[in-house]
Structure 1
Amino acid sequence: MKKEFKSLFNLKGKNAIVTGAAGILGNYFCMGLADVGANVAVVDINIEKAELIAAELRQSYGVKAKGIYCNLTSEQSIKEMVETVVNEFGTINILHNNAAGKSSNLEAFFAPFEEYELDQWKEIMSTNLDSMFLVAKYVGKVMKEQEIGGSIIQTASIYGVMGPDNRIYEGSYYLDRQINTPAIYSASKGGVVALTKYLATYWAKDGIRVNTITPGGVESGQNETFKKNYANRIPLGRMAQAEEMVGALIYLASDASSYVTGQNILIDGGLSAW
């Protein structure tokens, strides 16, 4: 008997939220979901860019898409965003809890660990992890009340599961600024992975699956020294392209992963396999 499997990836008629939709990866995530049929709530604090992305999704993929403002450091803003999505789309089937914040003070963000300020630590923990908790809280409540299950995917980072090799940062710049990976970034992203595992077991009885995708280094403006140093640590010998993160999202959002929950898919070119 012939059995078709490609239809498992079809998201036609499903409604998805993508937070951080105007970011480096967010635009690609929105396009990927729309390409397999999902309607997309394009959520970002940059509402102008979110609206442009939504317009492109409507034109290119023929799906329903709407740019929605949200300040993820505000619980009230998150609550209002979820209410807007429900009013506009009716149901929520997929949440890509993708957004992460940027520091308001890059000098403080990249400071050595021994000199790191507690206020900076709290700021990044709030934007990277507290926001994940709040978005999952309000969307998960809606999914539970709908009684039709759902899929939540959260974006972490390779440095949420392993420590950085600080040798790669010698002479390395991003957008003309010398960089490193602060401990708070690793700690907050590790918290995302742990939150995923907790929610996967907590909401399993409600048919809500919760998984993580963990990108490795994505090429996005680093200087050649950094790209070379990073590539030398990767079995595949290069940094990732943003679109290479999308396949895992489609898989986890769709029925192709109907028996997958609580997992962390590392898209790292083999870095964690050394």
Structure 2
Amino acid sequence: MSTQTYRALFDLSGKTAIVTGALGLLGRRFCRGLAESGAQVAVVDLDADKAQQFASRLAQDYGTRAAGIGCDVSNPAAVDHMIGQTCEVLGDIHILLNNAASKSEHLDAFFAPFEEYSLDEWRRVMSVNLDGAFLTAQAVGRQMIAQGTGGSIIQTSSIYGLLGPDDRIYQDSHYLGTTINTPAVYSASKAAIVGLTNHLAARWAKHGIRVNTLTPGGVESGQNDTFVKNYSNRVPMGRMAKADELVGAALFLASDASSYVTGQNLFVDGGLSAW
């Protein structure tokens, strides 16, 4: 194969990608990376107006088609409607970045100690992080099977879905002014994503649908200096990730460059999981 042929494996021209949680820290970068690589992008998030505004910006910046769609991924009817809208506007679906996740609207409840954690809060977070991933993968998988052309599904987990949190990192640590930790509901929901990925990878391989997990390490996103220092000291590369550093891995898994990769969990964590 020539160098040009290898480069072409990463070309997503003619493909349609759905990104859930598209207006978040990673979601916006995933959308931009997909659009720059030639894909049409369905920008999916709760706020339809903001999703449409960002989709318009993608189309303007990258010369591709994009659609902004409001969707509560924890609502089955909303997810089915989102799939219908995507197909109506952008055509067949080839890529899903199953990326939506919630810290809920109540940060104090979200970061509460495990011994005092509310079942209502647990269920609110799970309804997005796990139920939403299930519903979206199910709906997209059905559509891909009906199309008969295969596809790639990428599900965002976290290092804390595979590793226990080091509480020493969180001593005197804050995020946007709030004292933080890693709640058990977050760890449990992200661990479940890995299990769901493996199940679907085995189930849908016969349909040409690849399903993989993308597992980020800690990403710079407004934590205070104490947290950044503490976290960085736990990472062989000595720093937190920048959001853009997740995009290359997502594009690899979305494209034909990973055509024989399914049921895998790709860590992008600066080596933290190696220690």
The TM-score bracket by the shorter chain reads over 0.9
> Is 1:106–2:114 an aligned residue pair?
no
Q: CA separation in 2, counterparts of 1:109 and 1:220?
A: 18
Alpha-carbon separation, structure 2, partners of 1:210 and 1:244: 21
Once residues 18 and 2 of structure 1 are traced to their aligned partners in structure 2, the CA distance between those partners, rounded to angstroms, is 32
| 1:194 counterpart residue number | 195
1:180-219 to structure 2, matched below 5 A, reads: 180-219=181-220
Match in the other structure for 1:39: 40
Counterpart for residue 76 of structure 2? 75
In 2, the alpha carbon distance for the partners of 1:170 and 1:108 equals: 19
Q: Is the partner of 1:52 in helix, strand or coil?
A: helix
Counterpart-to-counterpart distance in 2, 1:95 and 1:222: 29
The 3-state SS of whatever aligns with 1:9 is coil
Aligned length: 274
Q: Which runs of 4+ in 1 moved over 6 A?
A: none
Deviates more, 1:44-53 or 1:207-216: 44-53
Q: Can you give the 5+ residue segments of structure 1 that lack an aligned partner in the other structure?
A: none
- 2:74 corresponds to which letter in structure 1? T
**Structure-1 separation of matches of 2:229 and 2:2:** 47
**C-alpha separation in 1, matches of 2:130 and 2:19:** 16
2:274 matched residue in structure 1: 273
Q: Aligned partners of 1:135, 1:36: CA distance in 2, in Å?
A: 23
Q: What's the CA shift string for 1:156-203, capped at 9, x where partnerless?
A: 111001011010000000000110001110000000011000000010
**What is the match of residue 157 of structure 1?**
158
| In 2, Cα distance between equivalents of 1:106 and 1:31 | 29
Paired amino acid for 1:175: L
1:54 maps onto 2:55 in alignment: yes
Shift of 1:235: 0.5
Give the letter aligned to residue 181 of structure 1.
Answer: T
Q: CA deviation at 1:84?
A: 0.5
Gapped regions of structure 2 (runs ≥ 5) = none
Q: 1:178–1:254: structure 2 CA closer, same or farther, 3 Å change rule?
A: same
Residue type at the aligned position of 2:57 = E
How big is each residue's C-alpha offset from its partner over 1:213-245, in whole Å with a ceiling of 9 and x where there is no partner?
Answer: 011100010000000000000000001000000
For the aligned residue pairs, the C-alpha RMSD in angstroms reads: 1.0
**How far did 1:48 drift?**
2.4
- Shift in Å at residue 104 of structure 1? 2.7
> Does 1:247 pair with 2:251?
no
Counterpart of 1:233 in structure 2 is 234
CA distance in 2: counterparts of 1:69 and 1:103, whole angstroms: 18
Offset at residue 88 of structure 1 (A): 0.9
**CA apart distance, 1:52:** 1.9
Out of 103-112 and 156-165, give the one that drifted further.
103-112
Q: Hey, what's the Cα distance between the residues in 1 that align with 2:17 and 2:217?
A: 24
Is 1:10 matched with 2:11?
yes
2:151 maps to amino acid:
G
Cα displacement (A) at 1:2: 3.8
In structure 1, give the amino acid aligned to 2:120.
Answer: D
**Seq. identity, %:** 60
Partner secondary structure for residue 25 of structure 2: coil
SS in 1 for 2:9: helix
Provide Cα deviations, 1:221-273, integer angstroms capped at 9, x if missing partner: 00000000000000000010000000001000000000000001010000000
